[in-house]
Structure 1
Protein backbone atom coordinates (compact mmCIF):
# COMPACT_ATOMS: atom_id res chain seq x y z
CA UNK A 1 0.00 0.00 0.00
CA UNK A 2 1.33 3.42 -0.96
CA UNK A 3 0.40 5.34 2.20
CA UNK A 4 1.65 4.32 5.65
CA UNK A 5 0.65 6.28 8.74
CA UNK A 6 2.94 6.00 11.75
CA UNK A 7 0.70 6.75 14.71
CA UNK A 8 -0.77 5.75 18.06
CA UNK A 9 -4.53 5.32 18.56
CA UNK A 10 -4.57 7.27 21.85
CA UNK A 11 -2.78 10.35 20.53
CA UNK A 12 -5.01 13.32 19.81
CA UNK A 13 -2.90 14.64 16.93
CA UNK A 14 -3.07 11.22 15.30
CA UNK A 15 -6.86 11.35 15.66
CA UNK A 16 -6.85 14.54 13.59
CA UNK A 17 -5.17 12.85 10.61
CA UNK A 18 -7.14 9.62 10.99
CA UNK A 19 -10.39 11.57 10.83
CA UNK A 20 -9.24 13.22 7.60
CA UNK A 21 -8.31 9.85 6.09
CA UNK A 22 -11.65 8.32 7.05
CA UNK A 23 -13.61 11.30 5.75
CA UNK A 24 -12.52 10.47 2.22
CA UNK A 25 -12.05 6.72 2.57
CA UNK A 26 -8.37 7.08 1.69
CA UNK A 27 -6.62 3.67 1.72
CA UNK A 28 -3.60 3.51 4.03
CA UNK A 29 -1.66 1.16 6.25
CA UNK A 30 -1.51 1.93 9.95
CA UNK A 31 1.66 1.29 11.92
CA UNK A 32 1.26 1.78 15.65
CA UNK A 33 4.32 3.24 17.34
CA UNK A 34 5.20 2.42 20.95
CA UNK A 35 7.68 5.08 21.99
CA UNK A 36 8.64 2.94 24.97
CA UNK A 37 9.79 0.15 22.68
CA UNK A 38 13.27 0.72 21.30
CA UNK A 39 12.67 -1.00 17.96
CA UNK A 40 9.29 0.65 17.43
CA UNK A 41 10.65 4.09 18.31
CA UNK A 42 13.61 3.59 15.97
CA UNK A 43 11.29 2.93 13.03
CA UNK A 44 9.80 6.38 13.58
CA UNK A 45 13.11 8.11 14.24
CA UNK A 46 14.46 6.84 10.92
CA UNK A 47 11.71 8.80 9.20
CA UNK A 48 11.49 11.81 11.51
CA UNK A 49 14.33 12.23 14.03
CA UNK A 50 12.14 14.35 16.31
CA UNK A 51 10.20 11.15 17.10
CA UNK A 52 6.84 12.91 16.97
CA UNK A 53 3.81 11.27 15.44
CA UNK A 54 1.86 11.10 13.24
CA UNK A 55 4.12 10.82 10.21
CA UNK A 56 2.84 9.85 6.78
CA UNK A 57 5.07 7.85 4.47
CA UNK A 58 4.12 7.82 0.78
CA UNK A 59 6.04 5.02 -0.90
CA UNK A 60 4.63 5.77 -4.35
CA UNK A 61 5.94 9.34 -4.35
CA UNK A 62 8.91 8.60 -2.07
CA UNK A 63 7.75 11.28 0.38
CA UNK A 64 7.85 11.49 4.16
CA UNK A 65 5.32 13.97 5.49
CA UNK A 66 5.27 15.07 9.16
CA UNK A 67 2.97 17.52 10.98
CA UNK A 68 -0.79 17.05 10.98
CA UNK A 69 -1.87 20.08 8.94
CA UNK A 70 0.78 19.41 6.31
CA UNK A 71 -0.27 15.76 6.11
CA UNK A 72 -3.91 16.68 5.52
CA UNK A 73 -3.03 19.26 2.87
CA UNK A 74 -0.72 16.70 1.24
CA UNK A 75 -3.58 14.22 1.08
CA UNK A 76 -5.87 16.84 -0.41
CA UNK A 77 -3.30 17.58 -3.13
CA UNK A 78 -2.11 14.10 -4.01
CA UNK A 79 -4.97 11.83 -2.93
CA UNK A 80 -8.10 13.98 -3.24
CA UNK A 81 -11.39 12.49 -2.18
CA UNK A 82 -14.99 13.44 -2.73
CA UNK A 83 -14.87 15.92 0.15
CA UNK A 84 -11.90 18.33 -0.03
CA UNK A 85 -10.83 19.35 3.46
CA UNK A 86 -9.31 22.63 2.31
CA UNK A 87 -11.37 25.05 0.17
CA UNK A 88 -10.05 26.09 -3.22
CA UNK A 89 -10.94 29.73 -2.61
CA UNK A 90 -7.82 31.40 -1.11
CA UNK A 91 -9.73 33.47 1.45
CA UNK A 92 -11.78 30.50 2.60
CA UNK A 93 -8.63 28.39 2.79
CA UNK A 94 -6.96 31.00 5.02
CA UNK A 95 -9.95 30.90 7.37
CA UNK A 96 -9.70 27.10 7.59
CA UNK A 97 -5.96 27.28 8.25
CA UNK A 98 -6.54 29.88 10.96
CA UNK A 99 -9.02 27.70 12.85
CA UNK A 100 -6.91 24.62 12.28
CA UNK A 101 -4.02 26.37 14.00
CA UNK A 102 -6.36 27.76 16.66
CA UNK A 103 -7.41 24.29 17.78
CA UNK A 104 -3.84 23.01 17.68
CA UNK A 105 -2.34 25.92 19.61
CA UNK A 106 -5.09 27.06 21.96
CA UNK A 107 -6.99 23.85 22.69
CA UNK A 108 -4.62 20.95 22.04
CA UNK A 109 -1.56 22.61 23.53
CA UNK A 110 -3.05 23.68 26.90
CA UNK A 111 -4.90 20.35 27.11
CA UNK A 112 -1.65 18.46 26.71
CA UNK A 113 0.11 20.64 29.28
CA UNK A 114 -2.53 19.73 31.88
CA UNK A 115 -2.31 16.02 31.07
CA UNK A 116 1.49 16.09 31.11
CA UNK A 117 1.52 17.76 34.51
CA UNK A 118 -0.52 15.04 36.22
CA UNK A 119 2.02 12.47 35.05
CA UNK A 120 4.84 14.26 36.90
CA UNK A 121 5.88 13.59 40.46
CA UNK A 122 4.21 15.87 43.00
CA UNK A 123 7.50 17.71 43.44
CA UNK A 124 7.74 18.53 39.73
CA UNK A 125 4.12 19.52 39.16
CA UNK A 126 3.35 23.08 38.12
CA UNK A 127 0.00 24.26 39.53
CA UNK A 128 0.47 27.74 38.11
CA UNK A 129 1.09 26.38 34.64
CA UNK A 130 -2.01 24.18 34.90
CA UNK A 131 -4.12 27.15 36.01
CA UNK A 132 -2.84 29.19 33.05
CA UNK A 133 -3.69 26.34 30.67
CA UNK A 134 -7.19 26.07 32.14
CA UNK A 135 -7.72 29.81 31.70
CA UNK A 136 -6.55 29.57 28.09
CA UNK A 137 -9.04 26.78 27.42
CA UNK A 138 -11.87 28.90 28.85
CA UNK A 139 -10.86 31.80 26.62
CA UNK A 140 -10.69 29.49 23.60
CA UNK A 141 -14.15 28.09 24.37
CA UNK A 142 -15.59 31.58 24.33
CA UNK A 143 -14.01 32.37 20.98
CA UNK A 144 -15.25 29.10 19.48
CA UNK A 145 -18.75 29.80 20.79
CA UNK A 146 -18.74 33.16 19.02
CA UNK A 147 -17.32 31.72 15.80
CA UNK A 148 -20.06 29.08 15.62
CA UNK A 149 -22.86 31.63 15.45
CA UNK A 150 -24.94 30.60 12.42
CA UNK A 151 -22.53 27.81 11.42
CA UNK A 152 -22.78 24.02 11.37
CA UNK A 153 -19.02 23.47 11.26
CA UNK A 154 -16.33 25.82 12.50
CA UNK A 155 -15.94 27.76 9.24
CA UNK A 156 -19.32 27.19 7.62
CA UNK A 157 -21.59 24.50 6.22
CA UNK A 158 -18.85 22.05 5.16
CA UNK A 159 -16.54 20.01 7.35
CA UNK A 160 -12.90 20.94 6.79
CA UNK A 161 -9.41 20.34 8.09
CA UNK A 162 -10.21 22.74 10.94
CA UNK A 163 -12.97 20.43 12.17
CA UNK A 164 -10.57 17.50 12.03
CA UNK A 165 -8.36 19.53 14.37
CA UNK A 166 -11.31 20.46 16.58
CA UNK A 167 -12.65 16.96 17.20
CA UNK A 168 -9.78 15.36 19.15
CA UNK A 169 -8.79 18.64 20.79
CA UNK A 170 -12.26 19.15 22.25
CA UNK A 171 -12.71 15.46 23.05
CA UNK A 172 -9.86 15.52 25.55
CA UNK A 173 -10.09 19.18 26.61
CA UNK A 174 -13.69 18.80 27.75
CA UNK A 175 -12.58 16.20 30.31
CA UNK A 176 -10.27 18.80 31.89
CA UNK A 177 -12.32 22.00 31.60
CA UNK A 178 -15.98 21.12 30.96
CA UNK A 179 -18.07 23.37 28.74
CA UNK A 180 -20.18 25.88 30.64
CA UNK A 181 -23.83 26.84 30.33
CA UNK A 182 -22.73 29.77 28.17
CA UNK A 183 -21.27 27.36 25.59
CA UNK A 184 -24.48 26.05 24.04
CA UNK A 185 -23.29 26.29 20.44
CA UNK A 186 -19.97 24.70 21.34
CA UNK A 187 -21.73 21.83 23.12
CA UNK A 188 -23.92 21.17 20.08
CA UNK A 189 -20.91 21.37 17.75
CA UNK A 190 -19.00 18.92 19.94
CA UNK A 191 -21.90 16.48 19.71
CA UNK A 192 -21.94 16.79 15.91
CA UNK A 193 -18.25 15.93 15.90
CA UNK A 194 -18.85 12.88 18.10
CA UNK A 195 -21.64 11.77 15.75
CA UNK A 196 -19.57 12.21 12.59
CA UNK A 197 -18.87 8.67 11.24
CA UNK A 198 -15.20 9.42 10.56
CA UNK A 199 -14.53 10.59 14.12
CA UNK A 200 -16.75 7.90 15.63
CA UNK A 201 -14.52 5.36 13.90
CA UNK A 202 -11.39 7.02 15.31
CA UNK A 203 -12.80 6.83 18.83
CA UNK A 204 -13.91 3.23 18.43
CA UNK A 205 -10.38 2.25 17.46
CA UNK A 206 -8.98 4.21 20.41
CA UNK A 207 -11.25 2.60 23.02
CA UNK A 208 -8.86 -0.26 23.94
CA UNK A 209 -6.30 2.40 24.89
CA UNK A 210 -8.46 4.87 26.84
CA UNK A 211 -7.60 3.27 30.17
CA UNK A 212 -4.11 4.75 29.75
CA UNK A 213 -5.55 8.29 29.73
CA UNK A 214 -5.17 9.78 33.23
CA UNK A 215 -8.63 11.38 33.12
CA UNK A 216 -10.38 8.44 31.48
CA UNK A 217 -13.22 8.45 34.01
CA UNK A 218 -14.17 11.94 32.81
CA UNK A 219 -14.55 10.86 29.19
CA UNK A 220 -18.09 10.69 27.77
CA UNK A 221 -19.71 7.73 29.50
CA UNK A 222 -19.75 5.53 26.40
CA UNK A 223 -15.95 5.73 26.17
CA UNK A 224 -15.00 5.19 29.79
CA UNK A 225 -13.06 2.06 30.72
CA UNK A 226 -15.08 -0.40 32.77
CA UNK A 227 -12.70 -0.11 35.70
CA UNK A 228 -11.17 3.11 37.09
CA UNK A 229 -7.48 3.68 36.64
CA UNK A 230 -5.37 2.23 39.40
Structure 2
Protein backbone atom coordinates (compact mmCIF):
# COMPACT_ATOMS: atom_id res chain seq x y z
CA UNK A 1 0.00 0.00 0.00
CA UNK A 2 1.36 3.41 -0.90
CA UNK A 3 1.11 6.66 1.02
CA UNK A 4 -2.65 6.81 0.42
CA UNK A 5 -3.04 4.19 3.16
CA UNK A 6 -2.42 6.93 5.74
CA UNK A 7 -5.69 8.59 4.79
CA UNK A 8 -9.05 8.11 6.46
CA UNK A 9 -11.32 5.18 5.53
CA UNK A 10 -8.35 2.82 5.41
CA UNK A 11 -10.26 -0.08 7.00
CA UNK A 12 -13.75 0.03 5.54
CA UNK A 13 -13.37 -0.10 1.79
CA UNK A 14 -12.95 -2.63 -1.00
CA UNK A 15 -10.59 -1.90 -3.87
CA UNK A 16 -12.43 -2.42 -7.18
CA UNK A 17 -9.67 -0.92 -9.33
CA UNK A 18 -8.61 -2.64 -12.55
CA UNK A 19 -5.09 -2.06 -13.84
CA UNK A 20 -5.24 -3.86 -17.19
CA UNK A 21 -7.66 -4.04 -20.10
CA UNK A 22 -10.04 -1.75 -21.90
CA UNK A 23 -12.09 -1.44 -18.72
CA UNK A 24 -9.13 -0.31 -16.62
CA UNK A 25 -9.94 2.32 -14.04
CA UNK A 26 -10.31 3.24 -10.39
CA UNK A 27 -13.30 2.64 -8.16
CA UNK A 28 -13.65 2.02 -4.43
CA UNK A 29 -16.52 0.61 -2.42
CA UNK A 30 -16.92 1.98 1.11
CA UNK A 31 -19.14 0.27 3.64
CA UNK A 32 -20.86 1.28 6.86
CA UNK A 33 -19.13 -0.36 9.82
CA UNK A 34 -22.46 -0.66 11.60
CA UNK A 35 -24.94 -2.06 9.05
CA UNK A 36 -22.51 -2.89 6.17
CA UNK A 37 -24.46 -0.90 3.58
CA UNK A 38 -22.12 0.19 0.78
CA UNK A 39 -21.42 3.24 -1.35
CA UNK A 40 -19.23 3.21 -4.47
CA UNK A 41 -17.13 6.09 -5.66
CA UNK A 42 -17.57 7.32 -9.26
CA UNK A 43 -15.50 5.33 -11.76
CA UNK A 44 -12.32 7.05 -12.93
CA UNK A 45 -10.77 5.56 -16.11
CA UNK A 46 -7.08 4.61 -16.15
CA UNK A 47 -6.06 5.71 -19.63
CA UNK A 48 -2.69 3.96 -19.69
CA UNK A 49 -4.29 0.67 -18.72
CA UNK A 50 -7.03 1.09 -21.30
CA UNK A 51 -4.47 1.90 -24.00
CA UNK A 52 -2.51 -1.23 -23.11
CA UNK A 53 -5.72 -3.22 -23.38
CA UNK A 54 -6.35 -1.97 -26.88
CA UNK A 55 -2.74 -2.73 -27.83
CA UNK A 56 -3.02 -6.29 -26.55
CA UNK A 57 -6.28 -6.83 -28.39
CA UNK A 58 -4.73 -5.59 -31.62
CA UNK A 59 -1.70 -7.81 -31.04
CA UNK A 60 -3.95 -10.80 -30.56
CA UNK A 61 -5.86 -10.13 -33.78
CA UNK A 62 -2.63 -9.71 -35.79
CA UNK A 63 -0.58 -12.37 -34.03
CA UNK A 64 -0.30 -14.45 -37.20
CA UNK A 65 1.15 -11.53 -39.14
CA UNK A 66 3.29 -9.96 -36.45
CA UNK A 67 5.07 -13.12 -35.27
CA UNK A 68 7.61 -12.38 -32.54
CA UNK A 69 6.70 -8.72 -32.71
CA UNK A 70 3.39 -9.61 -31.07
CA UNK A 71 5.09 -10.60 -27.81
CA UNK A 72 7.06 -7.39 -27.89
CA UNK A 73 3.84 -5.43 -28.20
CA UNK A 74 2.37 -7.37 -25.27
CA UNK A 75 5.40 -6.54 -23.14
CA UNK A 76 5.17 -2.90 -24.12
CA UNK A 77 1.47 -2.87 -23.26
CA UNK A 78 2.20 -4.44 -19.89
CA UNK A 79 4.83 -1.80 -19.16
CA UNK A 80 2.42 0.95 -20.19
CA UNK A 81 -0.21 -0.34 -17.75
CA UNK A 82 2.29 -0.50 -14.88
CA UNK A 83 3.78 2.91 -15.52
CA UNK A 84 2.29 5.47 -13.18
CA UNK A 85 -0.27 3.02 -11.73
CA UNK A 86 0.61 3.58 -8.08
CA UNK A 87 0.52 7.37 -8.25
CA UNK A 88 -2.68 7.39 -10.31
CA UNK A 89 -4.35 5.00 -7.88
CA UNK A 90 -3.39 7.12 -4.87
CA UNK A 91 -4.85 10.22 -6.52
CA UNK A 92 -8.05 8.36 -7.34
CA UNK A 93 -8.24 7.06 -3.76
CA UNK A 94 -8.01 10.61 -2.43
CA UNK A 95 -10.82 11.70 -4.73
CA UNK A 96 -12.93 8.75 -3.61
CA UNK A 97 -12.34 9.53 0.07
CA UNK A 98 -13.32 13.17 -0.45
CA UNK A 99 -16.59 12.02 -2.01
CA UNK A 100 -17.17 9.33 0.65
CA UNK A 101 -16.94 11.83 3.49
CA UNK A 102 -20.29 13.22 2.39
CA UNK A 103 -21.90 9.79 2.92
CA UNK A 104 -20.33 8.66 6.20
CA UNK A 105 -19.87 9.95 9.74
CA UNK A 106 -17.04 9.08 12.13
CA UNK A 107 -18.15 8.11 15.63
CA UNK A 108 -16.35 10.07 18.32
CA UNK A 109 -16.42 7.09 20.69
CA UNK A 110 -15.59 3.94 18.68
CA UNK A 111 -14.16 5.79 15.63
CA UNK A 112 -16.22 3.68 13.21
CA UNK A 113 -17.43 5.18 9.94
CA UNK A 114 -21.20 4.79 9.65
CA UNK A 115 -23.89 5.76 7.17
CA UNK A 116 -26.64 8.30 7.72
CA UNK A 117 -29.13 5.70 8.97
CA UNK A 118 -26.69 4.46 11.63
CA UNK A 119 -25.80 7.94 12.87
CA UNK A 120 -27.28 9.51 16.02
CA UNK A 121 -27.14 13.17 15.11
CA UNK A 122 -28.19 14.34 18.60
CA UNK A 123 -25.18 12.75 20.31
CA UNK A 124 -22.65 12.76 17.52
CA UNK A 125 -22.19 9.02 17.98
CA UNK A 126 -23.08 5.93 16.01
CA UNK A 127 -26.21 3.92 16.80
CA UNK A 128 -24.18 1.18 18.47
CA UNK A 129 -22.62 3.62 20.94
CA UNK A 130 -25.76 5.74 21.35
CA UNK A 131 -28.82 3.66 20.36
CA UNK A 132 -32.00 5.43 19.41
CA UNK A 133 -33.98 5.96 22.63
CA UNK A 134 -37.41 5.32 21.12
CA UNK A 135 -36.21 2.08 19.54
CA UNK A 136 -34.64 0.94 22.82
CA UNK A 137 -37.88 1.64 24.70
CA UNK A 138 -39.92 -0.37 22.20
CA UNK A 139 -37.40 -3.21 22.36
CA UNK A 140 -37.51 -3.22 26.16
CA UNK A 141 -41.33 -3.25 26.10
CA UNK A 142 -41.35 -6.20 23.76
CA UNK A 143 -38.77 -8.06 25.86
CA UNK A 144 -40.85 -7.39 28.99
CA UNK A 145 -43.98 -8.71 27.26
CA UNK A 146 -42.17 -11.89 26.27
CA UNK A 147 -40.77 -12.34 29.77
CA UNK A 148 -44.17 -11.99 31.49
CA UNK A 149 -45.92 -14.12 28.86
CA UNK A 150 -43.29 -16.83 29.38
CA UNK A 151 -43.85 -16.76 33.13
CA UNK A 152 -47.61 -17.02 32.68
CA UNK A 153 -47.17 -19.89 30.23
CA UNK A 154 -45.04 -21.74 32.77
CA UNK A 155 -47.72 -21.23 35.43
CA UNK A 156 -50.37 -22.51 33.03
CA UNK A 157 -48.18 -25.51 32.28
CA UNK A 158 -47.77 -26.19 35.99
CA UNK A 159 -51.54 -26.15 36.45
CA UNK A 160 -52.07 -28.47 33.51
CA UNK A 161 -49.41 -30.87 34.79
CA UNK A 162 -51.33 -31.31 38.04
CA UNK A 163 -54.00 -33.24 36.12
CA UNK A 164 -51.59 -35.50 34.26
CA UNK A 165 -50.96 -39.11 35.22
CA UNK A 166 -47.20 -39.22 35.57
CA UNK A 167 -47.10 -42.46 37.58
CA UNK A 168 -48.64 -45.02 35.23
CA UNK A 169 -46.18 -46.43 32.72
CA UNK A 170 -47.11 -46.00 29.07
CA UNK A 171 -46.13 -48.08 26.08
CA UNK A 172 -44.79 -45.83 23.35
CA UNK A 173 -44.64 -48.58 20.72
CA UNK A 174 -47.43 -51.09 20.14
CA UNK A 175 -46.19 -54.66 20.82
CA UNK A 176 -48.65 -55.98 18.26
CA UNK A 177 -47.90 -53.82 15.17
CA UNK A 178 -44.90 -51.70 16.26
CA UNK A 179 -46.77 -48.44 15.60
CA UNK A 180 -45.99 -45.36 17.69
CA UNK A 181 -48.67 -44.95 20.35
CA UNK A 182 -47.68 -41.63 22.01
CA UNK A 183 -48.83 -43.01 25.36
CA UNK A 184 -52.38 -43.84 24.24
CA UNK A 185 -54.46 -46.57 25.95
CA UNK A 186 -55.18 -48.28 22.63
CA UNK A 187 -52.99 -48.53 19.55
CA UNK A 188 -54.14 -46.00 16.93
CA UNK A 189 -53.20 -48.47 14.15
CA UNK A 190 -54.48 -51.87 15.27
CA UNK A 191 -56.55 -51.11 18.38
CA UNK A 192 -54.42 -53.26 20.67
CA UNK A 193 -55.18 -52.64 24.37
CA UNK A 194 -52.06 -50.94 25.62
CA UNK A 195 -53.34 -50.15 29.10
CA UNK A 196 -53.78 -53.82 30.08
CA UNK A 197 -50.48 -55.71 30.41
CA UNK A 198 -50.07 -58.80 28.23
CA UNK A 199 -50.02 -62.07 30.20
CA UNK A 200 -48.78 -65.49 29.24
CA UNK A 201 -51.68 -67.77 28.36
CA UNK A 202 -49.94 -70.71 29.99
CA UNK A 203 -48.77 -69.33 33.33
CA UNK A 204 -50.38 -65.86 33.39
CA UNK A 205 -46.98 -64.24 33.92
CA UNK A 206 -46.79 -60.62 32.80
CA UNK A 207 -44.96 -60.47 29.48
CA UNK A 208 -42.45 -57.70 28.71
CA UNK A 209 -43.30 -55.64 25.65
CA UNK A 210 -42.26 -57.31 22.41
CA UNK A 211 -41.80 -60.78 23.94
CA UNK A 212 -41.99 -63.78 21.60
CA UNK A 213 -41.67 -66.29 24.44
CA UNK A 214 -42.69 -66.16 28.09
CA UNK A 215 -39.63 -65.49 30.26
CA UNK A 216 -41.23 -67.56 33.06
CA UNK A 217 -42.32 -70.78 31.35
CA UNK A 218 -40.96 -70.53 27.86
CA UNK A 219 -44.37 -70.75 26.21
CA UNK A 220 -44.51 -69.14 22.77
CA UNK A 221 -46.55 -65.95 22.55
CA UNK A 222 -49.21 -65.96 19.89
CA UNK A 223 -49.01 -63.09 17.44
TM range (shorter): under 0.3
Asked which structure has the greater CA Rg, the reply is 2
The higher relative CO (CA closer than 8 Å, separation ≥ 6) is in: 1
Q: Which has the larger share of helix?
A: 1
Taking structure 2 as the reference length, the TM-score comes to: 0.18
